[in-house]
Amino acid sequence: MILSLKRRSVLPGFGLTMGCTLLYLSLIVLIPLSATFLKTATMSWSQFWSTVTEPRALASYRLSFGASLIGAAINAVFGLLAAWVLVRYSFPGKRIVDALVDLPFALPTAVAGITLTAIFSSNGWIGRLLEPLGITVAFTPLGVVIALTFIGLPFMVRTVQPVLQDLEAELEEAAASLGASRWQTLVRVILPELSPALLTGFTLAFARAVGEYGSVIFISGNMPMRTEITPLLIVTKLEQYDYAGATAIGVVMLVMSFVLLFIINLLQWWSHKRYA
Amino acid sequence: MAGTIAFSRATASITRTRATTEPAIVRWTLIGTAVAFLGLFLVVPLAAVFTLALEKGVSAYFAAFREPDALAAIRLTLLTAGIAVPLNLVFGVAAAWAIAKFEFVGKNLLITLIDLPFSVSPVVSGLIYVLLFGLQGWLGPWLAEHDIKIIFAVPGIVLATIFVTFPFVARELIPLMQAQGTEEEEAARVLGAGGWQTFRRVTLPSIKWGLLYGVILCNARAMGEFGAVSVVSGHVRGLTNTIPLHVEILYNEYNSVAAFAVASLLALLALVTLAAKSVVEWKSQAHVTTGERTPARGEAR
């Protein structure tokens, strides 16, 4: 069937590689994912609904989504600034800084989690400085925001950086020769040109943050209703052998991931049209 | 082709006039702010891992690695990555060949499905295998009858790791091979090369850096994965603990020095990954002859 849907080619191996791809994809991804949805189907709708809307679950959504939004917003500002500085200016140590941007991506999340907790706890390097100001980070929602900002940083920088790199100098020269100030050029010319990339980076950082587990659970303190993120709620339910409850919350998160994936694809299609 | 690339490189490195850059004071303020932010979020944590690991001296640091549980965790992590990375490598090459070299209906859907594991929370990635193979799961009763253990055992850990590292190689290769087109392979075929010969002599040399890059990222994630593995592992000391899970146990036992010592091993792995990535990027830029690497579709992922 697939062969008839495919254009003719002299290259060999389509059947073999396509067959391997579909088989492996089905075994590893598609069948387990569908099994999860089928598992929810064994629950009644009212049972499902009451599980996913219990106060503890609602509090966890608020924290997960709220902290992810704030983290992504912080990254939108500082990630854009970092990308700008890395593309436009030269300064000593620039190559090292550039390579280090990917650290949150390469550093295992558990390591990030215990390290951020150690730094921001009341006797840690930074926590010690913040305590006299009345700011506690570890074991509060603020700690969750910090961890999610850390984890989202490379997504923002690496999405904006190549677009900024390809931005043509003529555009800015034209703006300048028409009498625009540097600030006007930035707001009226550069930012609109960057907006698809900024939005894509924001959504990627947000999507990653919503599902994040390892870097958050150490710094958050995991108090139900206050600092419990949604992925942790799933783990808690599993540890209490509440498989139905864990599945229900898991399906909510899966649906959320699919929606975000759809939005990301739309944004990338938009940027592609814009920059191609 | 070469002409257009030279041209675009030239425009990228154009010297900016006063009208298209900022005054020095603005420039240095921006650099200062950006470097301070990145320093706070990247350099401080990195320095903290090693400082805390060495807090009680070098001998306490190395004592953490002589624990039998630590050695078992290291062995399990190597085994897991040793299975997951080659499997995903073969799959990634096969998927990229089918997608980049042929035109067929539903290609975009297939690419999205391959990307899917990146959008799923690590915890949910573990959960789906528990629901499939766990005692309460679809295949649980059958597996129990035949005395096969997948969840809370090594096979579950390997499966969850394969799932979370599934897209790395494929997503590196697909844009690269799409950009390279099919002319060279077609020429090789016309000149009488076999399919395997064409792949090995024509395709492989031009994708080797992208392939290596994908493998490096895949390996880093496979060795460092925490959430998904934590759900399926059952945390049996010495048996089903990977390095990240061992770090968690030590940390929760308030054994800070040992926790950070073992964590520093993973931090070193991250540094090696970043260095290798920089080298590969530099090499691939030096070797590129047919079009620049296209960093589309969320490179950072």
Query: Residue A225: which region, alpha, beta or left (left: phi > 0; alpha: psi -120 to 50)?
Result: left
B16 or B163, greater pLDDT: B163
Q: What are phi and psi of B104, to 5 degrees?
A: -150, 165
- What per-residue confidence (pLDDT) applies to B136? 81
B97 vs B176: CA distance, rounded Å = 11
Cβ <8 Å between A118 and B256: yes
Rounded Cα–Cα distance for residues B188 and B98 (Å): 18
Q: What is the pLDDT of residue B46?
A: 95
Residues of B in contact with A169 (CB under 8 A): 11, 14, 16, 20
Superfamily the domain A60-275 falls into: MetI-like (1.10.3720.10)
- The Cα of B29 is separated from the nearest Cα of chain A by a number of Å equal to 10
The per-residue pLDDT for B261 is 96
- Distance, in angstroms, between A48 CA and closest chain B CA? 16
What does the pLDDT average to over A251-267? 91
Predicted confidence band of residue A120 (pLDDT cuts 50, 70, 90): very high
Whole-number pLDDT of residue A272: 79
pLDDT for the residue B2: 35
Q: Which residue of B has its CA nearest to A165?
A: B12
> Is-contact A108 B225, C-beta < 8 A?
yes
Segment B91-113, tens digit of pLDDT: 999 999 999 999 999 998 999 99
Residue B288, pLDDT score: 55
Mutate to test the interface with A, among B83, B112, B128 (most CBs of A within 10 A): B128
Which residue of chain B is at minimal alpha-carbon distance from A208?
Answer: B119
Q: How does residue A4 score in pLDDT terms, banded at 50, 70 and 90?
A: low
Instruction: Chain B: give the shortest CA distance to residue A224, in Å.
Output: 18
- Give A-chain residues touching B104 at CB under 8 angstroms: 2, 5-7, 18
- Tell me the mean pLDDT in the region A36-59: 90
Average pLDDT over residues B140-160: 92
Structure tokens belonging to residue B81: 């990555």
pLDDT of residue B290 exceeding 60? no
> Among B11-15, B192-196, B234-238, where is mean pLDDT lowest?
B11-15
Residue ranges of the domains in chain A?
60-275
- The separation between CA B192 and the C-alpha centre of its own chain, rounded to angstroms, equals 37
pLDDT reading at B9 higher than 60: no
Nearest Cα residue to A54 out of A46, A42, A65: A46
Q: Tell me what pLDDT residue B23 has.
A: 84
Query: Are the beta carbons of B31 and A91 separated by less than 8 Å?
Result: yes
Chain B residues near residue A260 by CB distance under 8 angstroms: 119
Contact present, B124 and A229 (Cβ < 8 Å): no
Task: Give A-chain residues touching B124 at CB under 8 angstroms.
Answer: 36, 211, 231, 234, 250, 253-254, 257
| Residue B242 binned pLDDT confidence (cut-offs 50, 70, 90) | very high
Interface touch B113/A25, C-beta < 8 Å: yes
Taking alpha carbons only, the member of A110, A25, A128, A238 closest to residue B221 is A110
DSSP state letter for B170: H
pLDDT tens digits, one per residue of B12-22: 445 566 667 78
Structure-token match 């140590």, residue found: A93
